[in-house]
Copies of this chain bind each other. A is one copy, B any other.
Amino acid sequence: MQVDGWMEKVTFTTILRTDTGSSKVLLRPRTSQEVAHILRYCHERNLAVSPQGGNTGMVGGSVPVFDEIILSTTLMNQVMSFHDVSGVLVCQAGCILEELGRYVEERGFLMPLDLGAKGSCHIGGNVATNAGGLRFLRYGSLRGTVLGLEVVLADGTILNCLTSLRKDNTGYDLKQLFIGSEGTLGVITAVSILCPPKPSAVNVAFLGCPGFAEVLQTFSTCRQKLGEILSAFEFMDAECMKLVELHLRLASPVRESPFYVLIETSGSGAGHDAEKLSDFLEQVLGSGLVTDGTLATDQRRIKMLWSLRERITEALSRDGYVYKYDLSLPVERLYDLVSDLRARLGPRAKHVVGYGHLGDGNLHLNVTAEAFDVSLLGALEPYVYEWTARQRGSVSAEHGLGFKKRDVLCYSKPPEALQLMQQLKALLDPKGILNPYKTLPARA
């Protein structure tokens, strides 16, 4: 175990300009037993612990608020097993998503999740935050693809639910408690996850649409024509493209349009997939739903098209201070909030942009300004949350609540649910040492 007793200024300024954690102790265990020792020690002495993976979260979930001990999974980066018939990967929590992706792809499989931060995020953090990302549409939630977890509880007990079985109905499915609970109920130390076979054919189409109504109709047509090979349907508005061009010097591959969509297909028959895709493109281009488009089949160009979408976050962070919202909304109302806010904020905002996982009803709404401004914040909140609540949406679709959003839980969950969450927290972490000030609202 490495214990670094240094003054650490945990900075994650590129993503969250306002939050800076501060901690005197960073621990980097290598094994679950070491994690158990640490937690047993901390539990006995009432020391607060902040579990940390790749530190790429959007809501400050992995940042110590005061002087919590940072428990980093950085050195827990071993693959424990891979079964090349079933595609079940078992690994330690600190494995980096992109490295796992390479590992399973060499063996003919694919990680069931992918996200912009893949180069540094840890699989344990992905599971702890129930990360969604770019492959959700096709491979579904981690609640289905994670088969087992090993978790260390607040008192240091190792809970071994690290099964590799697709089906197991023996008692309550305890691992679900820890998926998405942001390290507040236990520390995930190992993950068993089902990887789908790597598709032999992948295509990406990047299209321009004249309006949001056309984006929606393109989505419907897409589902109908591409069916089971559709693996992603992402959208971004013209403002996003402007920022990506301006700050990252990336060039749009299609004519300027109010909206852009990125469609990915993944299938087992290149010829069949190409036919389906061309049938689809013919229809959307012929009917005017799409005004311009480009298609990529080779790896390099696919990556280039994806980078336009994946690097929006980076472009935004270079634009100034960013107010970030990650919302689930009924797909037909998804963009109304962006237009609405643009009108509401006027010149007070530098840019108001909308993009995200349209296929999952997930909007990333971002507002940039030269600097943090409390009056702009006041114009945004609680307005955005109230708007979302009226649509019965979610005020955090995939980013979680962490430290920054914990007080808005009430916009998406009733008081009875909050009460039960607090009871679960009290049951699993009676001393409140695990990731304090996160996920659940401060008590009244």
Residues of A within 8 A of B (CB): 85-86, 129-130, 132, 136, 140-141, 143-145, 153, 157-161, 163-174, 176-177, 179-181, 185, 197, 199-200, 220, 223-229, 266-269, 272, 275-276, 328, 330-332, 357, 360-362, 392-401, 408-409, 411-414, 416-418, 420-421, 423-424, 427, 439-440
Contacts and interface: CB of A to CB of B under 8 A. Distances in A.
A200 B394 CA distance: 33
Nearest to A360: B166
A169 B268 contact: no
Nearest to A216: B85
Contacts of A200: 227
6 contacts: A140-B140, A144-B145, A161-B417, A174-B421, A199-B227, A228-B267
B220 A85 contact: yes
A23 to B, nearest CB: 25
B181 A413 contact: no
What is the count of identical protomers in the complex? 2
A61 to B, nearest CB: 10
Nearest to A165: B328
Nearest to A420: B174
B361 A171 contact: no
Contacts of A392: 163-164
Q: Taking each of A145, A167, A399, which has the highest tally of chain B beta carbons within 10 Å of its own beta carbon?
A: A167
A268 B226 contact: yes
B416 A160 contact: yes
B176 A412 contact: no
